[in-house]
Amino acid sequence: MNKFKINIQGMTCTGCEEHVAVVLENVGAKNIEASFRRGEAVFELPDNIGVESAKKAIDKAKYQPGEIEEIQSEEKMVLGDEGDYDLLIIGSGGAAFSAAIKSVEYGAKVAMIERGTVGGTCVNIGCVPSKTLLRAGEINHLAKVNPFIGLQTSAGEVKLAPLVKQKDELVSELRKQKYVNLIDEYGFDLIDGEAKFVDVNTVEVNGKKLSAKRFLIATGASPSLPPISGLEEVDYLTSTTLLELKKVPKRLTVIGSGYIGMELGQLFHNLGSEVTLMQRSERLLKEYDPEISEAIEKALIEQGINLVKGATFERVEQEGQIKKVHVTVDGKEKVVESEQLLVATGRRPNTDTLNLSAAGVEVGNRKEILINDYARTSNEKIYAAGDVTLGPQFVYVAAYEGGIVSDNAIGGLNKKLDLSVVPGVTFTNPSIATVGLTEEQAKEQGYEVKTSVLPLDAVPRAIVNRETTGVFKLVADANTLKVLGVHIVSENAGEVIYAATLAVKFGLTVEDLKESLAPYLTMAEGLKLAALTFDKDVSKLSCCAG
């Protein structure tokens, strides 16, 4: 069998994909994968069938076939015949475990090298500890400030040390359940130590050299420091060390107001700190749609969080326990003082100690590992996945990539990474959830765009909750009304975005959303209402009326 990829214009939905697959199957093609989003089909043909027959079949079906490329299929690895391991993984987070589990299921001999704590960022110092404390902060905030007349609620001083102890116990339990216990369950080796490459086939750990047929680098990323004068001389906090504090600071300054800065800033505001978020940009979340930025900014200000935007950071200094951040805003100098200073200005890939040059692995200008569509590095035996590549910084993306690495490195399947539809959630309150294209991105890609913007005070669930600061925005192709992007600021936006992800991934239209039943008094009903808003004033509809 010979494997081919052909570019196809004219496919607009999953139905088109099925149509193309049928016509290719009729000429003898096998293992067909058609994608209207990528505008291509990948398939195999027996030696006795020419690829031109496939091209003619696609043309006859009223699609426009383009360039054809023959794909050199990677043979499935012969397992266990040479070297120490079939797959040697550096790192032990989501990407690493996903790749290890699937590779073991292929029958591979696998080892994982970890220099620190098993489990990676998410369970140890990221998602799990921050989200459990965020929930605690929300409860404390609602106890102090609730919107319902007649409810007498109050909150005393927060005792952070027992909260952090409870958080640590949860982290430990989940680390065991979801990571450590799986090592024996699946039967791969865990090697404690720091790995560095000595050549294209070998790493050294604790003075011992280990070889493998394939490698996966999944070493993640760490907080990075901005180039601000004096910063390295003060006792600043990172997203890791902030979650280890035993006492709530009276004042907290946060340099950086991306998703990490906003989540942790709001957490400590809800626990009782006076919080100031500071950023260089004039707009919060400048890569998001402006309606999203405006809604979350309004919410944070209403809650009493201080925002400093458009700041030029001059220097940082410390006097006793007080940290002073000197900035210039609108030409005026300003000093922000606080007991604690959090630096949340992005993350850098953990590649410094790997000696990648010895392995022939190329990195980018931020020292991230460069990979192709198959997660392969410049060394065909070495793959990379997760945050070390500086792709979308989500554990579920890392796990997905780890699975693709196993399929390609061990299974020889030549699967492409598809990160065209990746939902993202920021766990503030209200939360922010997005998937697909922003309005600006859609226009840049050549779409004629139609949008719907629905304020949260038009969503019944928000009205009865008495929390109406937020927005739903749909971005659609003006010609087909296919949903290209969904962007939400609301309570439980992260729960709603999965439905939106399915809409974007499978090419649903605004009409599909309109015609689908949405449970009344759920935040997910906002999706349907936003779809109705394309041609109706929902404020003039009765409950549930479409």
CB 354 within 8 Å of CB 199: no
Q: What are phi and psi of 105, to 5 degrees?
A: -65, -25
Residue 541, pLDDT > 80, answer no
Residue 488, token pair as written in the block: 């939400």
Question: Which residue among 1, 11, 179, 498 is the active-site one?
Answer: 11
Q: CA-to-CA distance for 406 and 459, rounded, in angstroms?
A: 44
Q: Which residues are annotated as a binding site?
A: 131, 256-263, 346, 387
State mean pLDDT over 94-109: 97
Distance CA 403, CA 101 (A): 9
- pLDDT value, residue 72: 67
Percent of the chain with pLDDT over 90: 89
- In this structure, which CATH number among 3.40.50.150, 3.30.70.100, 3.50.50.60, 3.40.50.920 belongs to the domain 2-71? 3.30.70.100
Residue 81 confidence (pLDDT) above 90: no
Q: Average pLDDT of 385-397?
A: 97
User: Quick check: 47 and 2 in contact, CB under 8 A?
Assistant: yes
In sequence order, the β-bridge partners of residue 317 are: 324
Helix (H/G/I), strand (E/B), else coil: 134: helix
Q: Indicate if 63 belongs to the active site.
A: yes
As a whole number of angstroms, the distance between CA 124 and CA 88 comes to 22
CATH code given to domain 424-539: 3.30.390.30
Q: Is 543 a residue of the active site?
A: yes
**Is 544 known to be catalytic?**
yes
Rounded Cα–Cα distance for residues 289 and 523 (Å): 20
Amino acid in the structure at residue 252:
L
Catalytic residue, candidates 1, 16, 106, 523? 16
> What letter does residue 470 receive in the DSSP assignment?
-
C-alpha distances (whole Å) from 164 to each of 242, 347, 432 are 11, 24, 25
Alpha carbons 56 and 65: distance in angstroms, whole number: 8
Whole-structure pTM value: 0.88
User: What residue has token string 């195999």?
Assistant: 44
Q: Of these residues, 77, 122, 278, 523, which one is catalytic?
A: 122
Place of tokens 């991230």: 368
Between CA 182 and CA 102 the distance in angstroms is 12
DSSP annotation of 482? B
- Is residue 11 among the annotated active site residues? yes
Say which of 13, 186, 396, 498 is annotated catalytic: 13
**Catalytic: 520?**
no
13 is catalytic: yes
Write the pLDDT tens digit of every residue in 402-425: 999 999 999 998 888 999 999 999
3-state secondary structure of 292: helix
Q: Rounded to an integer, what distance in angstroms lies between the CA atom of residue 201 and that of residue 210?
A: 8
Helix (H/G/I), strand (E/B), else coil: 530: helix
**Overall CATH class of domain 85-223+349-409:** alpha beta
pLDDT at 73 over 90: no
The CA distance from 260 to 239, in Å, is 7
Which residues are known binding-site members for NAD(+)?
Answer: 256-263
Backbone φ and ψ of 232, nearest 5°: -70, -10
What average pLDDT does the segment 372-384 reach? Answer: 95
Q: How far apart are CA 309 and CA 301, in angstroms?
A: 13
Summarize pLDDT for 324-349 with one digit per residue, the tens.
999 999 999 999 999 999 999 999 99
- The torsion defined by the Cα of 116, 117, 119 and 122, in degrees rounded to 10, comes to -90
Peptide bond into 430 cis (omega under 30): yes
Asked if the model's pLDDT at residue 174 lies above 90, the reply is yes
Label residue 536 by pLDDT band (50, 70, 90): confident
Binding residues for FAD: 131, 346, 387
pLDDT bin (cut points 50, 70, 90) of residue 35 is confident
- Secondary structure of 149-194 in HEC code, one letter for each residue: CCCCCCCCCCCHHHHHHHHHHHHHHHHHHHHHHHHHHHCCEEEECC
Same CATH topology for 2-71 and 231-345: the answer is no
CATH topology of domain 231-345: FAD/NAD(P)-binding domain (3.50.50)
For residue 546, name the pLDDT band (cuts at 50, 70, 90).
Answer: low
pLDDT at 74 over 70: no
* Res 298 pLDDT > 90: yes
DSSP secondary structure code for residue 376 in this structure: B
Q: For residue 305, which phi and psi values (nearest 5 degrees)?
A: -85, 135
Give domain limits for the chain.
2-71, 85-223+349-409, 231-345, 424-539
